[in-house]
Structure 1
């Protein structure tokens, strides 16, 4: 078995695709990203088969993020047009740019090959990424900023793909994350440093919460609306909590649980209905659920209650006879 798309050290449990649809989602993302490992696993696999592939849920979420994939496809399309228009005037050296999100001869942050230091006016050389901690720090900074272009770049191993950057660009891009790490490690608790660390933590939580809500919305659109059913709000809250945990959030805030109803109503409007039962529990059902289906559902519950009541009476009667 092979864990993809991440080769970084993780403490999360690796899982396999739960169905063909999950595997196809992963495979489609791999085709767009030109991920050799997954594409090799897919060779010779039939349409109704799932290869022995493992991944971390958090890595899978980043790897299949639609916005990042759309960004890559858009850039690939632009690169192909540019290569086609310039082909008659010059030859293209190296690998086609459509196979890579960035050029190894340019800074992955500013996109330039040449840069001059503002203090001295001297030319600043590109630095090749050679440490995993640099790759990880860039990824954390990109997540805080929700920089989709950078997340697309970091979907591949930056060291193996020979990513380069200017030292000044790296420091400017990651200084908040680097400083918050230093504060946590040293136990510092002074003024602006703590405020900056709080801002980074707040941004990270807000971004993770947004991704968790998007995953919940996708579940509702794909499972609840097309297949009308009644769902308890507590179940939806548990899905949000699971998503946040998979995104690295250790503690779910009360405000996240409290405002889920308002967010659902704002997102779906009249497409969803939320009601409370006699015990005060919130129930959700889609507008696509007909009255006939509601009646059948209610009648089915009544029949179950009658059956349980009858069984209880029988048990009581047997005990009295004894």
Structure 2
């Protein structure tokens, strides 16, 4: 065997890579010795992982030969490409099943690792934005909701959290973050804040300091507004609605540090 290898003058690098990759292949050996020796392995015996039994050699088949060839091509592995350049099926090449799985799956694992590395920066930005965003939201609740006790829609609170996270560079807020918002609020404020459902299942949030008297006054005020709006003409209703929208927009814009009316260059971007 040594003399045959010497005559063929095979580079030692090829022998080493075949051994390292675990490909026990016989495609470069003479046909009469194909089924007797594993010329590319320093030892032909390999034991299965965590077992005392030897792992048998299996004959290369067409589909698996393609998989090995494709894996070598993706890796730009010139040494393995040199080995598989011949028809390894016709040459009755053999290998261990575990070696085949390792070599053909390695490219997939590397690609996944590369994707994770590319996404790591986004994950770091997201994690860094969560804590200050919640801090801003909790500060708003303490200053606004406790300072002026009233009822808020949970959707409004969620929107404020989303806007805060986007201001810290987050492009898309995860659904899990929105889903756990109620738990975070209840953990932060405990019994001093209450969250209930309205008749449509929408969540409402209000402070414990909100009294029944204040609710009665607010209810009465809303009834008067509704009665006034129901009696007004269409033009008057549109004007009042526009004024109300403008006031709401200015309030929202102030909360997220945006001016109103917006600048032309902002609208164009």
TMscore range, shorter length: 0.3 to 0.5
* TM-score for both structures, normalised by structure 2: 0.42
Q: Which has the larger radius of gyration?
A: 2
